[in-house]
Amino acid sequence: MYRSEWVDRGYPSTCASASAAPPPPDGFVRVYHLCEAGYAVANIEKNRLKVATFADANDPFELSVFYSRDPAQRLRLKAFIDDVARRYGIVCFSEDWLDPTLWSHYGHQHRGIALGFDIAEHVLLPVKYQPQRIPFPVGPVADHVDQFLGTKYASWAYERERRIMVELTKAERETVKLPTGDRELFFEKFSGEVRLREVIVGPLCGEDVVALRAKV
């Protein structure tokens, strides 16, 4: 129904949402966050998304994007990694929601939900996929935070990922009680730059669609 409009906005003609929803306005990008249904419902109710920290990373390569064989540089690199992991978290999105592998990995084996967002272009960090690690730069490390946070191993390229970088000191916080002890979670609020636009229910999702639509 809207396919020509999506193509005019620069999206591929195969974009899954083009058959059902209008494209984002100028200055925004439509991206998708897949998660378990219960988490998606909570996200809708509380107008927020959980921020992943490096303790949550499913790709160990993310903590070893850079390398160095020089002992002094290795110490400098470790300090850089510790500092970035302490200060930043990420919210992850895909450029499309149709790939069944995404639903298997992130959509609770097709029982979850994909939330489609219009996000301001300047907020999103495109992910680059590398087959090899990158030599740690000698110059100022502050210039390489985006590269560190926006690089994954090449095998993950099917995700077509984009990210929001979140400074943890500015994130919404919530402490949850776990059997292993209290844990602090971080959240990014919906805003004028992060707008919920679509809710795509997985084919095996058990949520009541009428009740879910009312929440939206």
Residue in 30, 42, 29 with CA at minimum distance from that of residue 187: 42
Kindly state the average pLDDT of the residues 119-133.
94
pLDDT digits (tens, 9 = 90+) for 187-201: 999 999 999 999 999
> Could you tell me the residue ranges of all domains in the chain?
3-215
Please report where in the chains the tokens 């990373």 appear, as a residue.
57
Segment 1-25, tens digit of pLDDT:
799 999 999 999 999 999 999 999 9
Three-state secondary structure call for residue 39: helix
pLDDT at 107: 95
Q: What is the pLDDT of residues 79-117, one digit of tens each?
A: 999 999 899 999 999 999 999 999 999 999 999 999 999
Q: Which residues contact 37 (CB under 8 A, 6 or more apart)?
A: 108, 111, 112, 113, 201, 202, 205, 206, 207
C-beta atoms surrounding 197 within 10 Å = 18
d(CA 91, CA 170) in angstroms, rounded, equals 14
Summarize pLDDT for 135-180 with one digit per residue, the tens: 998 877 778 889 888 999 999 999 999 999 999 999 999 998 877 7
Q: What is the pLDDT of residues 34-75, one digit of tens each?
A: 999 999 999 999 999 999 998 777 677 777 889 999 999 999
**CA 195 – CA 200 distance, rounded (Å):** 15
- What pLDDT was estimated at residue 143? 81
- Please give the radius of gyration of the chain, using alpha carbons only, rounded to the nearest integer: 18
pLDDT of residue 144: 85
**Would you state the pLDDT for residue 138?**
80
Half-sphere exposure (CA, 13 Å, Cβ side) for 16? 15
Burial class (CB in 10 A: 0-12, 13-18, 19+), 40: buried
Mean pLDDT of the chain: 92
